[in-house]
């Protein structure tokens, strides 16, 4: 398949669609991997919120943080999810509290036993159908197999089958330790369609943020490490620059003019997906 015919979900995260030559190919499951504080959750929230604003409903699965804390994070960046939730365009799935506590009683989508992946998937499937979700974020998938790494691959495959089968495009947040080179384990890394790696590196007493697309099925993508900023508006990737860590220092250089032109053009021309395209109603095995 040529890249012209691959339809994309536009992340609308500044710079990300450019380094993906148009956006995330539809129905791709993308692992957003990185150490603590690298911007994974922010990337997930921004991806979802940008979709909501464009009329693309979404689902956020909260496994890592209390739903109240997730709501506060959205708000921190000025991303008002409440109105979309009231209009039935956004669902927050509480897979954190187990329904315990006064706050949790107010949540519409609750996974009673957060250790039960099957139950989580049932709630997710229901939420996707009810809001007609185009975008899904799971924060984080690592939580699902932290204590049982042997099942990591099968959990990812199951999620992938359900989510892509229902026609959604997803970000799976994957946690790795600071300084770890991997993305979340061999089973997981090969099972997903794409890997975006977020990094925070210390150099001479200063921290530098960067992002690199390690793989993305069905598209060409930048092969460089790009500088990344986090502000109170979310993430911003300097897509037309790249960052090098050398013995002499940290060097940020401009991309060749030609590469910039091709990326810009790809973003302008890539056909966009704005609706859920169901390929197959997946069956429970």
Residues that bind ligand ATP (CB under 6 A): 34, 36-42, 175, 230-232
Asked whether position 143 contacts Mg ion by CB under 5 A, the answer is: no
Tell me how far, at minimum, the Cβ of 38 lies from ligand ATP, in Å: 4
Query: 42 is in the binding site of which of ligand ATP, Mg ion, none (Cβ under 5 to 8 A by kind)?
Result: ligand ATP
Closest CA to 58 of 166, 218, 188: 166
8-state DSSP, 246: E
Only segment of 37-45, 98-106, 214-222, 236-244 that touches Mg ion (CB under 5 A) = 37-45
Say whether 243 sits in a helix, a strand or coil.
strand
Tell me how far, at minimum, the Cβ of 272 lies from ligand ATP, in Å: 26
Quote the strand ranges of the chain, DSSP E.
Answer: 8-9, 24-25, 29-34, 58-62, 90-94, 109-110, 135-139, 169-175, 194-203, 206-216, 226-231, 234-237, 241-246, 249-254
Asked whether position 50 contacts Mg ion by CB under 5 A, the answer is: no
Only segment of 39-47, 54-62, 201-209, 264-272 that touches Mg ion (CB under 5 A) = 39-47
Tell me how far, at minimum, the Cβ of 195 lies from ligand ATP, in Å: 15
Instruction: State the first-to-last Cα distance of the chain, in angstroms, to the nearest integer.
Output: 31
Query: 39 is in the binding site of which of ligand ATP, Mg ion, none (Cβ under 5 to 8 A by kind)?
Result: ligand ATP
Asked whether position 46 contacts Mg ion by CB under 5 A, the answer is: no
Tell me how far, at minimum, the Cβ of 238 lies from ligand ATP, in Å: 15
Q: Who contacts 216 (Cβ-Cβ below 8 Å, separation ≥6)?
A: 20, 24, 25, 28, 30, 193, 194, 195, 196
Query: 67 is in the binding site of which of Mg ion, ligand ATP, none (Cβ under 5 to 8 A by kind)?
Result: none
- Looking at the Cβ atoms of 41 and 97, the one nearer to Mg ion is 41
Query: 37 is in the binding site of which of Mg ion, ligand ATP, none (Cβ under 5 to 8 A by kind)?
Result: ligand ATP
- Looking at the Cβ atoms of 50 and 222, the one nearer to Mg ion is 50
Question: Per residue in 111-130, is it b (16+ CB within 10 Å) or e — as a string?
Answer: beebeebeebbebbbebbee
Number of neighbours of residue 92 by Cβ within 10 angstroms: 21
- Looking at the Cβ atoms of 180 and 280, the one nearer to ligand ATP is 180
Q: How many CA atoms lie within 13 A of 257 on its CB side?
A: 0
Figure out which of the listed residues 28, 33, 38, 41 binds Mg ion, where binding follows CB under 5 A.
41
- Looking at the Cβ atoms of 32 and 263, the one nearer to Mg ion is 32
- Looking at the Cβ atoms of 69 and 154, the one nearer to Mg ion is 69
Residues of this chain that interact with Mg ion (CB under 5 A) are 41
């Amino acid at each position: 398949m040529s890249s012209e015919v691959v339809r994309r979900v536009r992340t609308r995260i500044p710079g990300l669609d450019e380094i993906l030559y148009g956006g995330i190919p539809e129905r791709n499951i993308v692992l957003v991997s990185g150490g603590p504080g690298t911007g994974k959750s922010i990337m997930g929230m921004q991806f979802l919120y940008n979709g909501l604003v464009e009329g693309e409903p979404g689902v956020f699965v909260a496994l890592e943080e209390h739903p109240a804390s997730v709501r506060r994070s959205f708000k921190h960046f000025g991303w008002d999810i409440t109105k979309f939730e009231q209009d039935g365009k956004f669902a927050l799935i509480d897979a954190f509290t187990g329904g315990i506590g006064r706050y949790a009683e107010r949540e519409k989508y609750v996974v009673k036993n957060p250790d039960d992946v099957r139950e989580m998937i049932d709630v997710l499937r229901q939420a996707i159908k009810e809001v007609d979700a185009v975008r899904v974020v799971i924060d984080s998938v690592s939580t699902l197999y932290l204590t049982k790494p042997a099942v990591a691959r099968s959990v990812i495959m199951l999620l992938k089958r359900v989510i892509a089968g229902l026609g959604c495009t997803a970000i799976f947040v994957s946690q790795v330790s600071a300084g770890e080179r991997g993305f979340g384990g061999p089973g997981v890394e090969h099972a997903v369609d794409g890997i975006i790696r977020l990094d925070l590196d210390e150099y001479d007493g200063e921290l530098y943020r960067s992002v690199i697309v390690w793989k993305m099925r069905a598209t060409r993508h930048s092969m460089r490490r790009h500088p990344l900023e986090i502000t109170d508006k979310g993430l911003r990737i300097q897509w037309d620059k790249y960052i090098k860590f050398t013995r002499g220092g940290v060097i940020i250089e401009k991309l060749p003019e030609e590469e910039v032109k091709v990326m810009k053009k790809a973003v302008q021309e890539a056909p966009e997906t704005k609706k859920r395209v169901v390929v197959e109603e997946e069956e429970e095995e």
